[in-house]
A and B are shown apart, each in its own frame.
Chain A
Amino acid sequence: MANTIADSSATSDSARAPKRPPKQRYRKPSQFKGRDRTVFYLMVGIPTALHVLLVWVPTISSLFLSFTDWNGIRLSDMNWVGFLNYEQILTVFEKDFWQAVINNAVLLVFLFIGPTIFGMFLAYLLDKNIRGSRFYQSVFYTPVVLSLAVVGFMWQSVIYSTDNGLATQLFGGGESVDWLGNQSFLIPFGDNYGISKNFVAILVAIAWRHTGYIMVLYLAGMKSVDNSLREAAGLDGCSEWQAFRHVIFPTLKPINVVVAVITVIEALRAFDIIYVLNTPRKTEVLSILTTNNLLGEGGGNVGRGSAYATILFLMCLGFVIWYVTNHYRNTQEGAES
């Protein structure tokens, strides 16, 4: 991150100084000349136009459609119904809705305390340059190469098969175990909600893949730790845990930010693995509820599907706003690394 220090330049920019990160110098378009300016407008304008057209126009449309009761066939059939879809989600469909919200939250927490910590642990072990560490790296990373949909198929047919699966043979004690169908709660939250056993099974399958991903990120970060720091810590008589906690972990801060962002994205975005398993009961997440109403068999209720989508969008938006304001505030204060 070696940038020129430039907060003294271009005094005309001082009015914008509070928003400007101190390490970079911005120039106004008017400072460009002729062809440079055209290039500038094109380079900024075209991607922006595409982004607005392909991302924001559909988003605003979804927002709008969530206030209608359209069935997706003819535009003339669209009627404005106000907040009816939201009311129905919160009353008639509330059990499905809150269970989905809980599942998304559980997935988020799980991804933080499971794969992230375990991935960090694996990265720490592999960072020691033991024999065969490249081999281990490949082995742990291989599941990441598979899409979550494929992971779902594999685990369903090979490991979680009720009568003949690997998990049944190992842990079933001779009886068939319904890994993916058992919707009773492992950890109930009251009568109607909780973390269901089959959702935990799916979490294990997700972790199998996600851990390698986190491991590689942390491994890259750890490679950039200055060796002299480690030696110094060793000379000072640090135990391993102390060395990790006080020397290595602080240097991983930028990686932590990346991992946090990735984790939140994965948690909110989760869809494919649950969908390919035919959405066992009690494992629904918000994206599944959205597509249930929009696509294929149960589709044709564009209004309610858009309402679910809007709710999911607002959750994502909350996170994005938090992240962006924090990030820019930090860079402004120079608090980053």
Chain B
Amino acid sequence: MTDQSTTRSPSPATHGYSLGRRNFIKTAAGAAGAGLILPAALAACGGDDDDSGSGSDGTAAPEGTAEAPAAASGDLSVGSRLANDAPKAGLAAAVEAFPNEDVNVSINTTDSNTFQENISTYLQNPDDVIAWFAGYRMRFFAAQGLLGDISSIWPALDSELGSGFKTASTGDDGKQYFVPFSYYAWGIHYRKSLFEDNGWEIPTSVDELTALAAEMEASGITPFAFGNDGNWPAMGTFDQLNFRINGYQFHVDLMAGKESWTSDQVREVFATYETLLALHQENPNGRTWEEAAAALVNKEAGMMTIGNFAGSQFPEGELEDLDFFPFPEINPEYGLDVVEAPIDGWMMAAAPGNEAAALEMLEYLGTAAAQDVYLSEDPSVVATSSAADTSVYNALQQKAAETVQNAEFVTQFLDRDTSPEFAANVAGPRFADFISDPSSIDGILEDMQAQSEVILTT
């Protein structure tokens, strides 16, 4: 199988942005298989807007330089899930450029899917530094005491990593356990040429969005492409609607089981979803997201709520035509302050063999120094550091970098923001039920609440 699971949303480090053909050959070796997704397009060296103004809180000045005061030495093991050629080479290069010569770093690479599926077993005997994602699963393991507290290195990273990233790296107890490395953004993707040809403007409110959709329908174009195979794409639209209507805090609380699925706020989200569903492609439950993206490529559909990885479905010359905009504002109280951007990164085991070296390595990985070296081998991701060199990015990556760096809050996508059991066994199937029959939403919400209580509060 490919490194791409089809029952959960793609991971930034292993399925980021589309690339040039030369990189296709490198990554294809690792990514052959039954999956239909492969990075394929040629990257054009995009614009050179170096992004500035990360959302750093600019309070205390960073403590000292990027290197820890007392340099560590000894052995350090890094557990990586970047098994494809380009990411693997990227990580190896970044590790080699690690400034501390006394530390002997060894990288243990496992294929991404295997790594994720066996994480519970792995964490009983882990490496010192571990590849993982931000969000609930990181917080869950931190609460179990399986991760090491790395708050001490964050002050040095504040200048490069915004507050959105910091919040995403924080555990339930307010300490940081995670260093973000790469990400991609979710948004409404569209083809610039299609919009130009028809004189359509980017909508800034949900009313404008519905008006735009009506215009598209009049032109014979389906407003939204939509494929829900795997049961996770529907979560994308739900997330966007939920944090636009109810705000970031409600969304996080709902994911944690602190708010009820039968509450009025959630009902409002589903009511909005139902009206939007009429604008989406029909029969989405059996259609894979790749097929839906194909409709976007063919200009049969005008827009698609998806992550930046959709670019992999665009043929070489047309990738430049792909752009995205944030889901429009629905509730003026919250505006556009939330961006959904799953983040991959690194964390430390609870009792690492070499804590000092692990902390140094983690701090290094969070800085532009490491991320630039990584990008030189694998430019298919967007690095988290605001000081990273963006000249290797294509236009889509630039846009994602700008959008996320300036966001106040960053969510991780439903299947990373809540218990994976809840996401895969409850939310996924129930959303599919809703899409198949929106009028049955009451029964669905009651089931979801009952099951959420059982799963999330034990």
Contact = CB atoms under 8 A, between A and B. Distances in A.
Contacts, number: 109
Interface stretch (A8-16, A39-47, A298-306, A321-329): A298-306
Nearest to B443: A192
A88 B451 CA distance: 9
B391 interface: no
A187 B117 CA distance: 36
Nearest to B284: A181
A116 interface: no
B141 to A, nearest CB: 8
A177 B123 contact: no
Contacts of B458: 69
A162 B120 contact: no
A6 interface: no
B155 interface: no
Interface in B1-59: 5-8, 34, 36
B386 interface: no
A178 B285 contact: yes
B112 to A, nearest CB: 12
B291 A296 contact: no
A188 to B, nearest CB: 13
Interface in A49-90: 69, 71-74, 88
Interface string B179-207: 00000000000000000000000000000
Nearest to A71: B120
A301 B286 contact: no
B436 A281 contact: yes
A301 B455 contact: yes
B117 A298 contact: no
Interface string A283-310: 0000000001101111111000000000
A250 B451 CA distance: 52
A153 interface: yes
Interface stretch (B74-82, B83-91, B415-423): B415-423
B447 A95 contact: yes
B231 A182 contact: no
Contacts of A71: 120
A73 B285 CA distance: 34
B126 to A, nearest CB: 12
Contact of B291 (A162, A182, A184, A280): A162
A206 interface: no
A183 B421 contact: no
A237 B150 CA distance: 90
B287 A73 contact: no
Interface residues of B, number: 42
A301 B424 CA distance: 12
B286 A182 contact: yes
Contact of A74 (B34, B124, B282, B436): B124
A180 interface: yes
Contacts of B6: 278
B110 interface: no
Contact of A280 (B285, B420, B424, B450): B285
A180 B192 CA distance: 33
Contacts of A183: 285, 432-433, 436
Nearest to A73: B120
- In the complex, which of the residues A91, A179, A297 has the most CB atoms of chain B within 10 Å of its own CB atom? A297
Nearest to A178: B283
B282 A281 contact: no
A190 to B, nearest CB: 13
B287 A181 contact: yes
Contact of B285 (A91, A163, A281, A298): A281
A169 interface: no
Interface in B109-139: 116-117, 120, 123-124
A305 to B, nearest CB: 10
A5 interface: no
Contact of B451 (A72, A92, A280, A299): A92
A275 to B, nearest CB: 9
Interface string B282-296: 111111000100000
Contacts of A292: 424-425
B237 interface: no
Contact of A299 (B5, B120, B291, B429): B120
Contact of A297 (B228, B286, B420, B437): B420
Contact of A178 (B286, B423, B447): B286
B230 interface: yes
B168 to A, nearest CB: 20
Interface string B430-442: 0011001100000
B275 to A, nearest CB: 21
A278 B7 contact: yes
A160 interface: yes
B251 to A, nearest CB: 21
Contacts of A74: 124, 144
A182 B423 contact: no
B451 A93 contact: yes
A173 to B, nearest CB: 14
Contacts of A162: 283, 286-287, 291
B229 A278 contact: yes
B420 A160 contact: no
18 contacts: A73-B123, A74-B144, A157-B36, A162-B286, A163-B287, A164-B291, A178-B284, A178-B285, A178-B286, A181-B287, A181-B432, A181-B436, A184-B436, A278-B231, A293-B421, A295-B117, A299-B421, A301-B421
Q: Which 5 A-B pairs have the closest CB atoms?
A: A181-B286, A181-B285, A178-B283, A298-B424, A296-B117
Interface of B: 5-8, 34, 36, 116-117, 120, 123-124, 144, 146, 228-231, 282-287, 291, 415, 420-425, 429, 432-433, 436-437, 447, 450-451, 454-455, 458
Interface of A: 69, 71-74, 88, 91-93, 95-96, 153, 157, 160-164, 176-184, 198, 278, 280-281, 292-293, 295-301
Given A91-B450, A278-B231, A297-B421, 13 more contacts: A74-B144, A162-B283, A162-B291, A164-B291, A177-B283, A178-B284, A178-B285, A178-B286, A178-B287, A181-B284, A183-B432, A184-B436, A198-B286
